[in-house]
A and B are shown apart, each in its own frame.
Chain A
Amino acid sequence: MKKSIFMIILSVISLLTYAEGYQVNVQSQKNTAMGHTGTALLLGSSSVHFNPGALSLMDKDYDFSFGGTLVYSQASYAKSNSDYQATTDNPVGTPFYLYGAKKIGEKSVISIGVTTPYGNSLAWDDDWSGRYLIQNISLKAIVVQPTYSYKISDKLGVGLGAMLVFGSVNLNKALPIESAQGEGSAELDGSTTSFGFNAGIYYQASEALSFGLNYRSKVKMEMVSGDASFETPSALAAYFPADNTFDAELPLPANLTFGLGYHLNEKWTLAADFQYVFWSAYEELVFDFEKNTDLLADSYNPRGYENTLIYRIGAEFNQSDKLALRAGAYYDQTPISDNLLNPETPGMNKIGLSFGGTYMLSEKLALDVSLLYIKGLEREASYSPANFSGTYNTTAVLPGLGLSYTF
């Protein structure tokens, strides 16, 4: 009874998503309704996240917005060459955002954003076929971003924000050692604070045409001394010391987004964004346990993510002074290769369709709504280090609600 059992026991993390990988892009109902475009638009204080450069051109003195989204997501698995099927029972995800911006003088805007741009919550049944890879996982990252924006000219604005990231992860998996009470299990629980930055440039090329470029840096979530707890048959308990801890590192990838905005006329605005995600930062996931035994080796799990491009288009229609309607669509490539698809992040190419609107409840207060539907394009793939293969499908519906207050 040596390492063989545990050769791959702790192959873990990454995550189901609302975007591919474990990004969550619902950071403003206005932007969400337009297919998450907006790098080249000033849609209010959400530019703190989408492009701090655009915020410098804010015309009001104050701009606040907050909102939240409910994520109803589901993934299914059908084992290759088998009639075995499983479906997740994911908890409802609740990404949220909070932005505030204040003009200082003629040229400067200071602002703060609280967002949840990365996350995952995925729950397969505890006894499902892939339980040695993952039973359930919850990844949360809350970003607090104080930001400064500066208007270089009436056409050109730049902005820079510091990202403080409060991240936590909890994951559970079964161990292939069994007693009369059932199989063993492992729970890993860790949290960390890390840093990054968000920089953007906005350029109003003409009355109608605008450009935006935004870069959000990679954030290394380094978990030190997370809790590693194990339940095992009592005869093997000595191999799984109590109060064990682990170190692990999970990168939140950098994003570079180029956006175009076009004011067709008084009523119509069009937008297109090209978002390049530097997923190749996620090469592997290593769990380094403080206490190793013959049955508990450190766990090395290849991930091999590849950089991807997301294509986004969106449109806004100002029906009246009180009502704006929006719609959008995007195509999001998966960063995960065909032989490294782990059921903890059943990634696949995805199409997103969205719409929504803003209704002015008063001169200052606006109600923002959005609805996003995400359809994963069915994919047969395997996680070859664990020889686990199947056909995956995913869908998600994300209704969101928010308020904006400007004056």
Chain B
Amino acid sequence: MKTYIYYYLILSLVLLAGCEVKTSDFKPASGEADFSTFVAIGDSYTAGYTDGALGARGQESSFPNIMAQQFKGVGINGFKQPMISSNGSISGSGTGYMDLKIVNGSLAPVPGEGDMSILSDRLYDSEAPIQNLGVPGALSFHLLGDGYATLNPFFARFASTTATSVIKDAMMMEPSFISLWIGGNDVLSYALAGGEEGAITDPTMFAGYMNMITNTLFAGETTGVIANVPDIESLPFFTHILSDGHLPLLIEDENAPNGFRILLEGEKVLLSASSLLQAGYGQSVEKPLPSNMVLDANELKDIKDAIAAYNTTIKSLCSEYGLAHVDLNGFMAQLSTKGLILDGNAYSSTFVSGGIFSLDGVHVTERGSAIVANEFIKSINTTYKANIPQVDINQYQTVIYP
């Protein structure tokens, strides 16, 4: 009997040791692309702008940085970003990250103090050049412009010289793989000003710039991915105010008989009008809402037509150079119409609670950035027959409530 008990105990121990559960392993593959030297080119989205400013938190979870982490199994040789070393952040207008706070009894994003010293960084190191060339504020043609660092302090932080261009700095690194997402600001600089400032880049000119850019970047063996431009109607910055039901509103219009009129169906009021609306603007003839807070039907049509034309250009360039194409316009349109359910949570383009858009209503949250990175990875996998693992989006934070 003793021996039986002995055998029984031994066997139990062996089985317990063998109880460690098996886990299915992912097998990464680079397919037909070469990820060794990855360079990301673009604007504030590529830089990691979130909650209305650029700071280390957003940089850590910029979509190129997340992609670079996912490229680790397919031969990437590091990915250097122009990291902000302070705890601060800075926007183009000098403010810092927005925080969600309770203002007059309701939740509102409040910009923090900007850290201007960030813009005095000079981070270029010829031994280890910056690979995330996302420059907040950049339009398509800015990427080609020599001396852009003298115009844009965000580029000056890491440009090789004051005379260089973004594309020239990219080419110096001899990239094997490039992500390019540009064109948003070609309409946004106009749209964010209510159509009263800036200009929409002419679609023909945009096509010309994009041809020059892609011809330089992808002339050789370089592989890559280009994303298209989301329609502004998918962004909470342009949809939130009227979703709360502010009609009817009085707005300035120099062509109207008395210089003001009632807001028409289909027109958009910018998120930046929030404080004016709180102060009573738009509710009386004495204080109509300024026209730079409104996009009228003509302005919206011009923006929509331009984006459609840009996206046609981007699509055909991807075909021409055999590049992966990310339809972020389609993705964000789906988000703003039907919404998306991903890994146990529902997302929409609803301001603050939607989960993907940050407190500025234009840029993504960290989780949104991970979701965007996965859209890039899916497209790369398809185009290059690669097997790059998607990232677990639930590791990244969304909007922080007080």
Contacts and interface: CB of A to CB of B under 8 A. Distances in A.
Contacts of B389: 81-84
Interface stretch (B7-15, B109-117, B128-136, B149-157): B7-15
Interface stretch (A97-105, A212-220, A253-261, A392-400): A392-400
B26 A180 contact: no
Interface stretch (B17-25, B181-189, B223-231): B17-25
A131 interface: yes
Residue among B16, B21, B73, B107 having the largest count of chain A Cβ atoms under 10 Å: B21
A178 B397 contact: yes
B133 to A, nearest CB: 27
A321 to B, nearest CB: 13
A396 B15 CA distance: 9
Interface string A72-87: 1011111101111101
Given A129-B395, A177-B401, A371-B15, A85 B23 contact: yes
B349 to A, nearest CB: 10
A388 B343 contact: yes
Interface in A313-345: 322-323
Contacts of A106: none
Interface residues of B, number: 50
Contacts of A387: 340-344
Interface stretch (B40-48, B79-87, B301-309, B351-359): B351-359
A378 interface: yes
B391 A82 contact: yes
A8 B339 CA distance: 13
Contact of B350 (A1, A129, A399): A1
B346 A8 contact: yes
Given A4-B348, A236-B401, A386 B341 contact: yes
A161 interface: no
Given A83-B389, A85-B23, A393-B23, A235 B402 contact: yes
Interface in B46-102: 70, 73, 100, 102
Contacts, number: 145
A359 interface: yes
A8 B389 CA distance: 26
Interface in A227-267: 233-236
Given A386-B343, A399-B12, A74 B401 contact: no
Given A4-B348, A235-B401, A357-B4, A74 B390 contact: no
Nearest to B21: A74
B231 to A, nearest CB: 20
B161 interface: no
Contacts of B278: none
A323 B395 CA distance: 56
B15 A397 contact: yes
A129 B12 contact: no
A153 interface: no
A205 interface: no
A82 B390 contact: yes
A176 B350 contact: no
A2 to B, nearest CB: 7
B1 interface: yes
B398 interface: yes
A78 B23 contact: yes
Given A76-B23, A78-B26, A130-B343, A371 B398 contact: no
B244 to A, nearest CB: 11
Interface in A55-95: 72, 74-79, 81-85, 87
Interface of B: 1, 4, 8, 11-12, 15-16, 18-26, 28, 70, 73, 100, 102, 107, 339-348, 350, 352-355, 378, 389-392, 394-395, 397-402
5 contacts: A7-B346, A130-B394, A131-B344, A371-B11, A380-B24
Closest 8 CB pairs of A and B: A1-B353, A233-B401, A132-B344, A83-B389, A391-B24, A84-B392, A74-B21, A78-B24
